[in-house]
């Protein structure tokens, strides 16, 4: 090898090592900060995920970049962002599979309270969707100039409609609501909300990338429908047979089954990417088709789930935080719009759920608690708005406002439940009272 080639190789190795150094530095800071934020949130009576979300935002330009801009630049701007972006997307793909596994469609077969579930789920979608669409359509000054108001309106509407099923489920477990009738209604309605919400997001994404060409849009919608049908009627039986042969149970997940499941998730992600919608939909669909494999779910949560939530999830929160700059809302008008976003999203979800519950015969306090739980957005909201931001249909200012709305709607859930649950005679666990 010539001297010039040796020098070029040395430079390449140095660049790779420097990229690895800064990536590891970022990961160490993100993981430790997320653990600290989650622990602090738990001590304050919040879900640990709330602390992790807020920590991710604080690591961005909203606080870290504002207080110590040079150090922030050294940590997060000294290397290309692609490694963190790829890690966040892989983690999100795995997390969406995990979320799909957690859907318990058995709730929806219970005849008791089914009418309430349907009404709450429908009203909890329609009213916030209408509010969000109106806001996205008319707030043209907050949207990219090159984007059609229809696309922006549909994305904001979808973001308003989502309920964060994983975070809600975690909060319900902390308050011991999972075995109550109210808890069953809430989790079932939230499941319907999320299923419809993801379908809406897939369709809206398809509409955005088809540039409003009817033929292209119809083709993409048809292909997405074919993917869902093939996943359910072809891939599902084969995947279930594969799981049955491996017999995962009591947390046991064989290397061969884990490898096959990971390959299935990645193949589905590549497929949905090729269809013109995001790879995360493929991961989510693979989780949904295996939702009734309880042994697989237990084994995945035992062997893989904690790694996904401890390692990958904080990366996604920080990736969102690096895009969120509260300082970009630098005028009273911007903060006025932000307050309107929070108010409309909260009122739409709470009022829709509350009024539907009242119509079905629930009392004032029960309906209020249901509205509070359905208003929890957190992770799912962040996924939706990141998709919209990546597609360029919402501006950075609107992105920041929606992040603030997601945090607000999640943070208020625990104190509101602590205040309202005793009014229906539900005892508060001691860990929540403190």
Question: Domain 85-433 is of which CATH architecture?
Answer: Up-down Bundle (1.20)
CA distance 216 to 137: 23
pLDDT tens by residue, 379-404: 778 888 888 888 888 888 888 899 89
pLDDT attached to residue 2: 62
Cα dihedral across residues 389, 392, 396, 397: positive or negative: negative
**Maximum Cα–Cα distance across the chain:** 83
Q: In whole angstroms, what separates CA 49 from the centre of its chain?
A: 11
Q: In whole angstroms, what separates CA 268 from the centre of its chain?
A: 19
User: What pTM was computed for the model?
Assistant: 0.76
pLDDT attached to residue 80: 86
CA distance 229 to 231: 5
pLDDT attached to residue 433: 40
Q: How high is the mean pLDDT in each 10-residue block of the chain (434 residues)?
A: 57 77 93 93 81 89 90 88 88 84 63 80 92 87 77 87 76 75 81 76 74 70 87 95 87 89 95 81 88 88 88 88 83 90 94 92 90 85 83 86 89 88 81 42
Instruction: List the domain boundaries for the chain.
Output: 85-433
pLDDT attached to residue 199: 74
CA distance 405 to 398: 10
pLDDT attached to residue 432: 43
């Amino acid at each position: 090898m010539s001297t010039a080639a040796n020098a070029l190789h040395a430079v390449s190795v140095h660049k790779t090592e420097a990229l690895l150094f800064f990536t590891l530095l970022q990961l160490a800071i993100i993981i430790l900060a997320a653990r600290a934020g989650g622990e602090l949130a738990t001590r304050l009576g919040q879900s640990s995920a709330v602390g992790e979300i807020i920590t991710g935002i604080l690591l961005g330009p909203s606080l870290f970049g504002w207080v110590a801009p040079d150090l922030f630049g050294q940590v997060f701007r000294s290397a290309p962002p692609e490694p963190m972006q790829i890690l966040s997307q892989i983690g999100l793909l795995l997390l969406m599979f995990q979320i799909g596994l957690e859907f318990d469609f058995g709730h929806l077969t219970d005849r008791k309270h089914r009418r309430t579930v349907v009404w709450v789920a429908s009203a909890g979608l329609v009213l916030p969707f209408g509010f969000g669409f109106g806001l996205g359509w008319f707030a043209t000054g907050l949207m990219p100039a090159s984007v059609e108001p229809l696309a922006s309106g549909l994305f904001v509407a979808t973001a308003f409609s989502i309920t964060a099923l994983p975070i809600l489920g975690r909060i319900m477990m902390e308050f011991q609501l999972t075995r109550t009738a109210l808890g069953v209604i809430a989790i079932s309605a939230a499941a319907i909300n999320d299923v419809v919400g993801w379908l809406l997001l897939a369709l809206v994404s398809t509409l955005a990338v088809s540039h409003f060409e009817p033929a292209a849009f119809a083709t993409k919608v048809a292909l997405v429908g074919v993917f869902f049908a093939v996943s359910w009627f072809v891939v599902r039986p084969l995947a279930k047979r594969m799981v049955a042969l491996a017999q995962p149970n009591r947390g046991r997940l064989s290397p061969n089954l884990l490898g096959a499941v990971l390959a299935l998730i990645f193949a589905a992600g590549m497929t949905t990417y090729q269809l013109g919608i995001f790879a995360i939909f493929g991961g989510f669909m693979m989780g949904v088709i295996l939702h009734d494999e309880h042994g697989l779910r237990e084994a995945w949560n035992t062997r893989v789930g904690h790694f996904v939530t401890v390692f990958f999830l904080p990366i996604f929160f920080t990736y969102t935080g690096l895009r969120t700059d509260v300082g970009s809302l630098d005028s009273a008008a911007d903060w006025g719009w932000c307050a309107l976003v929070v108010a409309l999203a909260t009122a739409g979800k709470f009022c829709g759920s509350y009024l539907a519950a009242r119509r079905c015969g629930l009392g004032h306090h029960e309906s209020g608690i249901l509205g509070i739980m359905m208003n929890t957005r957190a992770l799912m909201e962040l996924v939706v708005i990141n998709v919209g931001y990546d597609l360029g249909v919402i501006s950075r200012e609107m992105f920041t406002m929606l992040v603030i709305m997601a945090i607000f709607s999640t943070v208020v859930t625990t104190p509101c439940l602590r205040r309202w649950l005793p009014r229906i005679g539900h005892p508060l666990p001691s860990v929540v009272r403190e």
